Amino acid sequence: MEILISFIIPFIILLTVVVFIHEYGHYYYAKKYGVGVTDFSIGFGKEIFGFNDKSGTRWKFCAIPLGGYVKFFGDRNVFSQAEQEELLKKYSKEDQEKLFVVKPLYQRSIIVAAGPFANFLLAILIFAFIYMFAGKDFTPAQIQEVQIESPAEEAGIKSGDIIKSINGKDVNSIMEVSAFINSSSSEIIDIGILRNDSEITFSVKPEVIKGEDSLGNKANKKIIGIKIAPLNDEINRERLGPATALLYAFKETWFVIDASWNFIISMFKGTGDTTQLGGPIKIAKITGQVAKLGFIAFLSIMAYISISLGFINLLPIPMLDGGHLMFYAFEKVLGRPLTQRTQEGFFRIGLFLLLSLMFFTTFNDLRDLGLF
């Protein structure tokens, strides 16, 4: 019962909200462009409960709450030009106008891209809400101590220095130092320092150690050997106005997207730390841990998961939204859709990649729990 309350319920709530927003992005633009929507499902498998709206869409919750989907009228996963012509013969003139496949290329692209971008919008709104009502930290990051023979000392960083930037990103808060260092995919980190009213940049090669995150989970951490304290021991947390809050919310969302992209590139280069990849088990664990810290913390993790869902879905992997956008790019260049056989081949590759990723992340999750 404790596991149910502490981990499973918060995870289901978070996933339901994030998936609903994603699918509603698809749904909203589908309806806007006149595409018929037969199903709006949260979860997969057997339907638990649902209802039909006036337009005939079945809104339902299903037994496996690990995703969702919007099904369009006459939906086909793959189609060639010839198959599209056969499909049109099955419907009346009125019904043909509801088909997704006959819509202009730009409309289909917007409908597909709307899901991931709805996730990004959700994250921006959550961050803005937090910054307006709970405030944003603007405490300057002053170095209180530099460890002997540490990467920071070897680079020339000294006690009393104030960190102003990391890899070209402005450091506005003491909280951002660790995030910027650990999200960097490069071996050398450029740290901008304010010393005696002069700004100096130092190149530091961090050490990677096995440690724990703030929640006590095992994690590989990058350290440079410094201890940071608030400047003059003063915490500076400010509530922002709507415009400023939205600006910083956009910056935070972009930072996560950029860090995720750099991580993907580092994996292809062979330098990425794949042990940090996690699946539903790890997400559920972290969600439960964060939920215990309060409503604001829970909203924060929801924003980060929403960004991750949107980002992953934009990857050019068949079966994901990005895969469909890739097909539309081919269609734009070639002047026609790819053949059915070609698309089916891509879908098999996409299925293999997704199953491999699922297996790998599940293995990491179980190892993190000490089962391997």
The 10s digit of each residue's pLDDT in 87-117 is 677 777 777 788 888 889 999 999 999 999 9
Q: What is the pLDDT of residue 118?
A: 97
Backbone φ, ψ for residue 246 (5° rounding): -65, -35
In 302-334, which positions are buried (b, 16+ CB within 10 angstroms) versus exposed (e)? Answer: bbbbbbbbbbbbbbebbbbbbbbbbbbeebeee
Q: What is the pLDDT of residue 214?
A: 58
Cβ neighbours around 342 below 10 Å, total: 14
Q: Are 273 and 220 in contact (CB under 8 A)?
A: yes
Q: What is the pLDDT of residue 365?
A: 61
CATH number for the domain running over 137-238:
2.30.42.10
Closest to 277 measured CA to CA, from 362, 180, 207, 353: 362
The sign of the CA dihedral 305, 310, 314, 320 is positive
- Rounded to an integer, what distance in angstroms lies between the CA atom of residue 70 and that of residue 74? 12
Q: What is the pLDDT of residue 24?
A: 96
SS (H, E, C) 173-231: CCCHHHHHHHHCCCCCEEEEEEECCEEEEEEECCEEEEEECCCCCEEEEEECCEEEEEH
Residues with Cβ < 8 Å from 145, sequence gap 6 or more?
159, 226, 227
Q: Are strands 169-170 and 162-166 parallel, antiparallel or unpaired?
A: antiparallel
Structure tokens at 42: 């949260």
The model's pLDDT over 196-220, given as tens digits with 9 standing for 90+, comes to 888 899 888 888 877 666 555 666 7
The model's pLDDT over 339-365, given as tens digits with 9 standing for 90+, comes to 778 888 888 888 888 788 777 777 666
Domain span(s) for CATH 2.30.42.10 in the chain: 137-238
Q: What is the pLDDT of residue 257?
A: 93
Q: What is the Rg, in whole angstroms, of the alpha carbon atoms belonging to the chain?
A: 24
* Confidence (pTM): 0.87
Identity of the residue numbered 20: F
Q: What is the pLDDT of residue 351?
A: 81
Q: What is the pLDDT of residue 357?
A: 75
The model's pLDDT over 110-141, given as tens digits with 9 standing for 90+, comes to 999 999 999 999 999 999 999 999 999 888 88
Q: Are strands 141-146 and 226-230 parallel, antiparallel or unpaired?
A: antiparallel
Confidence of residue 277 (pLDDT cuts 50, 70, 90): low
Residues tagged active-site = 23
DSSP secondary structure code for residue 164 in this structure: E
Residues with Cβ < 8 Å from 139, sequence gap 6 or more?
173, 174, 175, 230, 231, 234, 235, 236, 237
